[in-house]
Structure 1
């Protein structure tokens, strides 16, 4: 068993996020495991760019209210205690709602060839507003 020290909070890179998003790395693999976990905090209106994961991603909301949306316009509201699985290769975004912060654990398997996450273009304000409408937030 190994206890991991608390990692410092870091501001996420503006090239992959809109708004203020902060992250605490929780686990980054140990050689045998390629499990990656981060605790991510989104301020109201903040969100990821469109992106996809080679092996999928599990989001587990710990606080607040957020949105998870896909390219086809499907959007779900994510609240504390709820989780969302995005399958391998599915382009999606996640973040806080316009009026609420959201905090979640982002969990993924980084095993395999290439990058575990492929970052794409920003979610436009129009797409973000449409996600709110679709989710009836």
Structure 2
């Protein structure tokens, strides 16, 4: 078989392979709500009743991860920091947050919070209102968060500061 006789076969193989690759690249990964698992927030990282749903960690080369986190009234994280910062999209309720050394601030459903990289902070529900947020952060060297000591009741109940 001559080169020109084989060319249509080779081109057809390239087209088929390219089509398959393009199809793989355009496939969406949909995590259905009904299939998402909800787990209790580990007591070593949270105070009070906290549930975590829809945890996600994307495969390399992505470094993005996150989850939907629900805090019952009075629940909060321990002090922690993120090597690449963290975005919180508040979907329900009222919460409090604080960067170490800064004022305690209140936030509401619809607010978006940004905590800069390597800033020690905490966040959670207020004493009388539940709060849910979507947490999004990137990993650095495989690590999305460094957990620290618990927020004391005195720290949690401190007066609100000003933005």
- Scaled by the length of structure 2, the TM-score of the pair is 0.77
Partner of residue 88, structure 1: 117
Cα distance, 1:115 vs. partner? 2.1
Partner of residue 160, structure 2: 134
Aligned length: 133
Unaligned ranges ≥5, structure 1:
none
Unaligned ranges ≥5, structure 2:
1-27
Whichever structure has more strand as a proportion of its residues is 1
Contact 2:106 / 2:160 at 8 angstroms: preserved in 1? no
Q: Highest relative contact order (Cα 8 Å, sep 6+), 1 or 2?
A: 1
Aligned counterpart for 1:125 among listed residues 153, 158, 161 = 153
The aligned runs of 1:1-137 (5 Å cut-off) are 1-5=28-32, 6-110=35-139, 112-113=140-141, 115-130=143-158, 133-135=159-161
Give 3-state SS (helix, strand or coil) of 1:126's partner.
Answer: helix
Contact 2:82 / 2:117 at 8 angstroms: preserved in 1? yes
1:51-99, Cα deviation, whole Å (9 max, x unpaired):
0000000011000000111111322211111011000000000000000
Moved more, 23-32 or 94-103: 23-32
Q: Distance in 1 between matches of 2:152 and 2:45?
A: 13
Superposed structure 1 runs of 4+ greater than 3 Å apart:
none
Contact 1:73 / 1:134 at 8 angstroms: preserved in 2? no
Whichever structure has more helix as a proportion of its residues is 2
Larger Rg: 2
Superposed CA RMSD in Å reads 1.4
Cα distance, 1:120 vs. partner? 0.3
